[in-house]
Structure 1
């Protein structure tokens, strides 16, 4: 009797495991590794991983799930290396900071995370918020909230009065003197403390504002904000923890200081010179362009009252230049990772970065690779993600049309699978 019970349990376990197989029939499959399009492929997914990719439409078993994507183009889950998932652009954004408690920010972030996932972005790097992004990352990882896999900086690091100083624009009795706990530093000692504090909070990456910024309520948008020794202290301390440093930068001098200090990536890079491009190639520094943010900020600046006057002036002057900088950096051979700065524009419209990249001269297939395998290499997770291959995590999306020929079809994502679970199937 006992043997029969054990055999029955074994059969149930076997049947359950077998039933977990998902057969995806892909009419077109983007092979980002070889930069080619495969046709009539079957992807088999089991326990959240890809177990095989074969030519032809394989017949699933009676207990297997079959997904028909024969009339679609299948790609790896997309990755955006620069988002701010806690919030979103709005004419009331600057006032909301005085109204919203941490819980309000958290609840507002939940639909933004889901919208990002539904747009086909299964992995993102969040480069700065209030710290709620750390809790959101954990909630998504635990399955309590729908959203992309998040690598987050928590709170960005800034000097007093710099781009990420949270008290900019406040009246003096509210400004106080925020320190490293708030990501505001002055000098190498405080730089080290701030990095350690962000790691203590749970940051996966460190973000510094190497120059002024466009959307902060501060006068300058491009001047350098840190001395070299401060940046070196940030990078060295982050490296001790085995994490990298992303540097927000618009002005060229601030970029050069950041690259010399050893930052991993330059974000935005609006006024980047040829000399800086050369230095980045020598140092192996990555460039995350965020063209969509620049174009969006310039457009919003033309809406009366959308931004405070000091912000609108910077947005008009700086924003739209990013696309030209991207074109020059790409032609120069600087390493480029896909990142859009979602939050500066509405979340879920991340596909626009593809359009701007292609407009600026990057071939469509290369743009698709930048948001998949290239970004996996950038994050050093290419053994797990970034391409549709046997053994990798099953992050798989599909679009109608041929994005290798018309990149604008990336707007219409009809299928999203993350870690083997289907979140969207508008077939």
Structure 2
């Protein structure tokens, strides 16, 4: 263990946690969302044993030896999956100066609260796309030291020099010379050979997948949000090396050319996709590439760009321009038949508000059932995990319940009444 992490781990060990499930549980759901078919079923009893779903019975069945949880008036759904979060941070007007003023441990302690808010909002699994804290947070949650969702962590994002995830963007000349140019160890590459080294470094650090920043970004201290920042050969080297370790690759991409290169290079998901063209949509359908829209982040930054002082002046025009476009792109991509998985880019906006993405997806034309499937079976498929995403025997016992019928009123997803992860109840009416 790195010495700087010891105080954090010692402190986390003192936190009160939900007791591990030791007895069978029978959940009496008034309705159950079948994520496979996208249909709402009538009353069902979900039987949970040893952290797994043992059975799904019709009606309000009596289960010998099981503790009954009455979810009358509620619809049970599989635990939700957010495919794009950043649990190590949350934007504010102070974000840009805090990276110079605060230590990694400061951000780590903040992440504890962010993780719990995310779980309590119904998100039992997340994909953390970029941040050195996430692998440690993942391990602490897995060890039972704190409450939070199951995390698939990318660790440090891979960028090119001056790219969206170059950690020295915005540094003055003196500081840049003092630190020196970042390389593959710091996640910055400029050739296929360095790309392979950067992936191997992420493996060494314990990442679960790889994220690249295929174009500029909205919130980075740089002028362009959409310029392509990798060659196809560099992307392909990353994807091929990632495959050696069983990793999938997510590509942050706003601009059309950068997206095209990422898809041709073989990435699994395109994140944001702001200026996605018809050509790129066709390529994505041909290659089976998933789209993670992050409408919430787009709307959030567009709104904050109107507040003087929230973003640096170099960022504000990008936030205004890009933020307003993402929801329109999502609507076009859905109509075109691009495969869509749920993601928010939370950390841009306040953690715990993830479910609002459902409302924006429906507002843009996706039926509520499809929005729920995007955050369950489809997200699990894009993630490459087969034991979550549906309420079926043998799956992990991840269950969320909301009052009312989300297919009639998607707004009820903001009123989560019950959360179970791996058979442990963290929230109930």
TM-score under structure 2 length normalisation:
0.93
Corresponding position of 1:203: 207
C-alpha distance in 1 between matches for 2:235 and 2:377: 29
Corresponding position of 1:10: none
Corresponding position of 2:345: 341
1:291 aligns with 2:295: yes
Where structure 2 has 5 or more consecutive residues not aligned to the other structure, the ranges are 1-20
- Contact 1:21–1:65 (CA under 8 A) maintained in structure 2: yes
Corresponding position of 1:379: 383
1:183 aligns with 2:187: yes
Corresponding position of 1:418: 421
Corresponding position of 2:406: 403
Where does 1:262-281 land on structure 2 (aligned, <5 Å)? 262-281=266-285
Judged with a 3 Å threshold, the aligned counterparts in structure 2 of structure 1 residues 136 and 19 are, in CA distance, closer, same or farther, namely: closer
- Contact 1:19–1:65 (CA under 8 A) maintained in structure 2: no
C-alpha distance in 2 between matches for 1:324 and 1:341: 17
After TM superposition, give the deviation of residue 310 of structure 1 in Å: 0.7
After TM superposition, give the deviation of residue 239 of structure 1 in Å: 1.2
- Contact 1:40–1:70 (CA under 8 A) maintained in structure 2: no
After TM superposition, give the deviation of residue 320 of structure 1 in Å: 1.3
Where structure 1 has 5 or more consecutive residues not aligned to the other structure, the ranges are 1-17
1:310 is paired with a residue whose SS is coil
TM-score under structure 1 length normalisation:
0.94
After TM superposition, give the deviation of residue 366 of structure 1 in Å: 0.7
C-alpha distance in 1 between matches for 2:221 and 2:48: 48
Aligned length: 407
Deviation digits for residues 351-410 of structure 1 (CA, Å, limit 9, x no counterpart): 11111111111100010011011111112223x111111111100011112111111110
C-alpha distance in 2 between matches for 1:394 and 1:240: 31
Deviation digits for residues 271-312 of structure 1 (CA, Å, limit 9, x no counterpart): 010011011111111111001100101001111100001111
Corresponding position of 2:313: 309
Corresponding position of 1:9: none
After TM superposition, give the deviation of residue 60 of structure 1 in Å: 4.0
After TM superposition, give the deviation of residue 19 of structure 1 in Å: 6.8
Given the alignment, which residue of 120, 123, 144 partners 2:122?
120
Structure 1 stretches of 4+ moved >2 Å? none
After TM superposition, give the deviation of residue 37 of structure 1 in Å: 1.2
Judged with a 3 Å threshold, the aligned counterparts in structure 2 of structure 1 residues 19 and 219 are, in CA distance, closer, same or farther, namely: closer
- Contact 1:25–1:42 (CA under 8 A) maintained in structure 2: yes
After TM superposition, give the deviation of residue 265 of structure 1 in Å: 0.8
After TM superposition, give the deviation of residue 26 of structure 1 in Å: 0.5
Deviation digits for residues 248-268 of structure 1 (CA, Å, limit 9, x no counterpart): 000000011111111111100
Given the alignment, which residue of 35, 41, 54 partners 1:32?
35
Deviation digits for residues 304-323 of structure 1 (CA, Å, limit 9, x no counterpart): 10000111110001111000
Corresponding position of 2:17: none
- Contact 1:19–1:64 (CA under 8 A) maintained in structure 2: no
After TM superposition, give the deviation of residue 230 of structure 1 in Å: 1.2
C-alpha distance in 2 between matches for 1:193 and 1:96: 30
Given the alignment, which residue of 83, 86, 99 partners 1:84?
86
After TM superposition, give the deviation of residue 33 of structure 1 in Å: 1.0
Where does 1:18-417 land on structure 2 (aligned, <5 Å)? 20-61=23-64, 63-129=65-131, 131-175=132-176, 176-382=180-386, 384-417=387-420
C-alpha distance in 2 between matches for 1:329 and 1:307: 29
C-alpha distance in 2 between matches for 1:377 and 1:232: 22
C-alpha distance in 2 between matches for 1:50 and 1:192: 40
